[in-house]
Structure 1
Amino acid sequence: MRLSDFTKSLYFSRKGFFKIFIPFLIILFITVAIPSYAQDATGANTGTAADVTATVAGKPTLEEVAASSGHNKIAINIMWTLLAGFLVMFMQAGFALVETGFTQKKNVAHTMGMNFLVYALGMIGFWICGFAFMFGGALNAATLGGAPGVVPHEYIVHIFGKDFGIIGTVGFFLNSKVYDVGVFALFLFQMVFMDTTATIPTGSMAERWSFKSFLIFGLFISMFVYPLFGNWVWGGGWLSQLGVNFGLGHGHVDFAGSSVVHMVGGVAALAGAIVIGPRIGKYGKSGEVNTIPGHNIPMAILGTFILAFGWFGFNPGSTLAGGDYRISIVAVNTMMAGTAGTLSALLFMYAKGQKPDPGMLCNGLLAGLVAITAPCAFVNSISSVIIGAIAGILVIVAYNFVDRKLKIDDPVGAFAVHGVNGAWGVLSLGLFADGSYGDGWNGVPGTVKGLFYGDAKQFLAQCIGTLTCFVFVFVVMYIFFKLSNKITPIRVSPEAEIGGLDIPEMGVHGYVD
């Protein structure tokens, strides 16, 4: 093609282009650029009197406006509680990744399988009777609508002229007597909390636990152990009434579950690890401790991040109220404590002349989050950093003591993370609660204050709750594991353990090489 022909074609192609493009710009300008005020781009006119349900459309009475306002308040609280519950449910993925990453690749399908199935087992067990035992005596959660028409009932023992609530008796199978929007919202949120407890021992007993034995455990802890202690603290039971009955502060206080969720799971993990015994090759004949490294550190780190993300549902969600402004303080305290736990673990390892083990850094983060779970709503940010920093050191010390001194094999450090720091969390509330929140908590007037802010009795209540949790859970779970071993062996055969549990227990490989 000659240059002149090319120039002409270019000219005409441009001319044709502009014939199309210029009208397009004009149409675009007319339809988009020229402002129109028929819509409500700012939202100022969206949601008016016309949207209030009224006998006369657009002209609601004062009572109708009040009813609409109350309905919206409860709707916000239910939506917030459900969204937070969805976040906590996602933590199950985090636990699965952390525990699997910290264990050997020959057991990947088995470890993942336990973390997966405990969700289904726990939900069914909690639905059958766990929820009724835990909250059957305190179903009227005002923030979720007060459950109109629901009549809760707590079984009470009278001792020393005082009432000791022991167990709830309403709500089995979420039957028609509790067919209520508020009760169902509470069930979902509390069910995913229970599932966190149930999954913790799958880490301490990993790589040698019979899957059939695990199935029995999943039902037992979700139906009886977790609900019973949970009732004593959150269901109006006797630990929550230590303040009303004996003047011990506000009774045992645990905002989001350092004791109810994490310590219960951690102590159960300890009992299980003791009964099942260490993995083959973990401890030598002369007492030496052999490290059995995990197979996938990136997987464990990813799981830790997922858990940290889910914790924003765990702690702030425990307000059960989207309109509770304390949510922001709870969220920041949660984040700061986890960060402090990571950094204190790092500095502690450096101070001991060690390398910064990524596994211990992850456990430092988790320990800080576990510890702040109880006091997160009652302390300031400086206290949350202190609580988290202590937790980061405590988890390393506790893990080494259990592993090297007691010779208890806990592959993921479940007891050190959840048991020890669950205890530290509720005790720290009794020390650092600053009196800025919690007026009327557990039926006691005034805000919650710890020892450092003038209320030594609150610290005593926290000590009683912590001791009760350890003794009750350890004794019950130790006996359970011993008895369940009579039903079906708790431990796999040595051949299966050495070769890997994926094929003998699950029938498939986690990884196909």
Structure 2
Amino acid sequence: MDVTYLMNSVWVMLSAILVIFMLGGFILLEAGSTRMKNAGHIAGKTIFTFSIAALVFWAIGFGFIFGKNGNLFVGLSDFFYSGYVMKGLGLSTSVYFLFQLAFAAISLTVAFGGFAERAKLSVYLVFSILFSALVYPVIAHWIWGGGWLADHGGQDFAGSTVVHLTGAVAAFAATILLKPRIGRFNKDGSANHIYGHNQVFTALGVLILWIGWFGFNAGSTISVDNGFFGFVSINTNLAAAAGVVAASIISWIVLGKTDVPTLLNGALAGLVAITASCAFVETWAAVVIGFVAGILVFCSMRFVEKRRIDDPIYAISVHGVPGIWGTLSTGLFATPKLATVGLPGLFYGGGLTQLGVQVMEVVISGVYAFTVSFAILFAMKKLMNGLRVTKEEETLGLDLSEHGSYGYPEVFQNTKQRKTS
């Protein structure tokens, strides 16, 4: 067997493991950013929904994206993946399947940021199935599976639009229908901060995500040829670092202090933004892309709050806005040498053509993901007697109301003992 084939397979398998391990980062990030009474629920539902997504992706998701007998809208073959070989891939198709599954799971996890601390567990179950079947695979096919955006030269190397924007607009649809958590906003429109219970968890979660992103972006080369994955990794790291610095600076300028959640979100914003362009731009452009993303995430967080939108994990601001910026940035900074898909960007003599394609990619993908997600959730709300737990259950916490036990049982046991003594 060809040595390069084996090396490619090992590299992409390692990358798939890194991307799946990002779910551990999301568990810590989301649990740390929310209240203690919901920590166990957040951890458990992440594993639960990953399992649902894995089964749906095996049954139909992979076929909808890469099915051979498809059209420009969706693939229509190769369902219930059983190990068939995709010709010309240069690595094990089974490994590639697992790698693509990991991306689908991350997009779903991003979407669930908008559900946090108030959605029923049954809602996670049904939405996992429908999002993994009808939303994510369609957009992935358009851009990565030979669909109509691929025909137009749409650039999205590792998923600023496919993964992050898709998940973020689904989260936005959920925030509209679920409405804010109890006590998040006052009648006059002013906001009350609901602080997460563990910033150390949040920071560790971000670091795990940062490391996992090397599998996300560099793994998307799906090849060890020429060591190009190293260049992609450098761009990824520089953008994340620039995002942290930019978010820290603007937080200090506006608030007079460097807010920890903001600087952590700056890292994620930089990572999300560079995901589309990491293989198409020079290193200096990666720094610019990450820096702008760090500023955008701070502004977006404040804007979303002023609109009385309760987004507990900042899915809209961290994955949506930087996802848009990252996708558009390739239309500005993609170089003639690196733009293996589409055309060079505006700043490299490519004119407005590629930027126009990128705008079309963002608008149509975002509208599709939002419209279908909203329709799914609206139908679920009508058919499932609401999406949200009761006021009493939300106050008690989803650990106990949905699962029957707390993520921190000793803490709550001791609290009860003190109250009764």
Give the structure-1-normalised TM-score.
Answer: 0.77
Deviation at 1:176, TM superposition (A): 6.4
Residues in 2 aligned to 1:101 and 1:487: alpha-carbon distance in whole angstroms: 32
Residues in 2 aligned to 1:78 and 1:310: alpha-carbon distance in whole angstroms: 18
Amino acid at match of 2:314: G
Task: Report the counterpart of residue 150 of structure 2 in structure 1.
Answer: 240
Say whether the 8 Å CA contact 2:184–2:192 is kept in structure 1: yes
Q: Is 1:291 the counterpart of 2:222 in the alignment?
A: no
Residues in 2 aligned to 1:117 and 1:429: alpha-carbon distance in whole angstroms: 35
After TM superposition, the structure 1 stretch with the greater mean CA deviation from structure 2, 353-362 or 188-197, is 353-362
Q: Given the alignment, which residue of 346, 357, 360 partners 1:461?
A: 357
Task: Report the counterpart of residue 452 of structure 1 in structure 2.
Answer: 347
Give the SS at the match of 2:73: strand
Could you give the per-residue CA deviations for residues 69-91 of structure 1, whole angstroms, max 9, x where no partner exists? xx111111111111111111100
Deviation at 1:351, TM superposition (A): 1.1
Percent identical pairs in the alignment equals: 41
Q: Is 1:341 the counterpart of 2:248 in the alignment?
A: no
Residues in 1 aligned to 2:272 and 2:129: alpha-carbon distance in whole angstroms: 24
Task: Report the counterpart of residue 210 of structure 1 in structure 2.
Answer: 120
> 5 Å matches for 1:388-467?
388-404=290-306, 406-439=307-340, 441=341, 448-455=343-350, 456-467=352-363
Amino acid at match of 2:61: G
Task: Report the counterpart of residue 61 of structure 2 in structure 1.
Answer: 130
Task: Report the counterpart of residue 379 of structure 2 in structure 1.
Answer: 483
Task: Report the counterpart of residue 407 of structure 2 in structure 1.
Answer: 510
Residues in 1 aligned to 2:349 and 2:69: alpha-carbon distance in whole angstroms: 35
Amino acid at match of 1:452: F
Task: Report the counterpart of residue 113 of structure 1 in structure 2.
Answer: 44
Q: Given the alignment, which residue of 210, 216, 224 partners 1:308?
A: 210
> 5 Å matches for 1:69-468?
71-136=2-67, 152-155=68-71, 165-175=72-82, 182-242=92-152, 251-404=153-306, 406-439=307-340, 441=341, 448-455=343-350, 456-468=352-364
List structure 1 segments (4+ residues) > 3 angstroms apart after TM superposition: 175-181
Residues in 1 aligned to 2:137 and 2:279: alpha-carbon distance in whole angstroms: 23
Task: Report the counterpart of residue 419 of structure 2 in structure 1.
Answer: none
Residues in 2 aligned to 1:218 and 1:106: alpha-carbon distance in whole angstroms: 23
- Structure of higher RCO (CA pairs closer than 8 Å, 6+ residues apart): 2
Could you give the per-residue CA deviations for residues 355-397 of structure 1, whole angstroms, max 9, x where no partner exists? 2111111100000000000000111111111100000010011
Residues in 2 aligned to 1:177 and 1:310: alpha-carbon distance in whole angstroms: 28
Say whether the 8 Å CA contact 2:180–2:309 is kept in structure 1: yes
Residues in 1 aligned to 2:60 and 2:101: alpha-carbon distance in whole angstroms: 12
Deviation at 1:324, TM superposition (A): 4.0
Q: Given the alignment, which residue of 379, 382, 389 partners 1:492?
A: 389
Residues in 2 aligned to 1:332 and 1:272: alpha-carbon distance in whole angstroms: 35
After TM superposition, the structure 1 stretch with the greater mean CA deviation from structure 2, 102-111 or 351-360, is 351-360
Residues in 2 aligned to 1:507 and 1:324: alpha-carbon distance in whole angstroms: 53
Gaps in structure 2 of 5+ consecutive residues: 412-421
Residues in 1 aligned to 2:192 and 2:283: alpha-carbon distance in whole angstroms: 40
Say whether the 8 Å CA contact 1:88–1:310 is kept in structure 2: yes
Deviation at 1:438, TM superposition (A): 3.6
Residues in 2 aligned to 1:176 and 1:353: alpha-carbon distance in whole angstroms: 54
Residues in 1 aligned to 2:192 and 2:289: alpha-carbon distance in whole angstroms: 32
Task: Report the counterpart of residue 418 of structure 2 in structure 1.
Answer: none
- Whose Rg is larger? 1
Could you give the per-residue CA deviations for residues 403-424 of structure 1, whole angstroms, max 9, x where no partner exists? 11x2110011111110111111
After TM superposition, the structure 1 stretch with the greater mean CA deviation from structure 2, 282-291 or 168-177, is 168-177
Residues in 1 aligned to 2:82 and 2:203: alpha-carbon distance in whole angstroms: 41
Residues in 2 aligned to 1:461 and 1:191: alpha-carbon distance in whole angstroms: 27
Amino acid at match of 1:506: H
Give the SS at the match of 2:276: coil
Deviation at 1:212, TM superposition (A): 0.5
Deviation at 1:166, TM superposition (A): 1.0
Could you give the per-residue CA deviations for residues 153-201 of structure 1, whole angstroms, max 9, x where no partner exists? 223xxxxxxxxx1111122111465599732121100000110000012
Residues in 1 aligned to 2:238 and 2:347: alpha-carbon distance in whole angstroms: 21
Say whether the 8 Å CA contact 1:128–1:223 is kept in structure 2: no
Say whether the 8 Å CA contact 2:280–2:339 is kept in structure 1: yes
Change in Cα spacing, 1:309 to 1:177, as seen in structure 2 (3 Å) is: closer
Give the SS at the match of 1:169: coil
Give the structure-2-normalised TM-score.
Answer: 0.94
More helix by share: 2
Could you give the per-residue CA deviations for residues 248-286 of structure 1, whole angstroms, max 9, x where no partner exists? xxx111000000000100111111111110001101011
Say whether the 8 Å CA contact 2:335–2:348 is kept in structure 1: yes
Aligned CA-pair RMSD:
1.4
Say whether the 8 Å CA contact 1:102–1:297 is kept in structure 2: yes
Say whether the 8 Å CA contact 1:130–1:222 is kept in structure 2: yes
Amino acid at match of 1:266: A
Residues in 2 aligned to 1:116 and 1:400: alpha-carbon distance in whole angstroms: 31
Residues in 1 aligned to 2:164 and 2:207: alpha-carbon distance in whole angstroms: 18
Residues in 2 aligned to 1:385 and 1:190: alpha-carbon distance in whole angstroms: 27
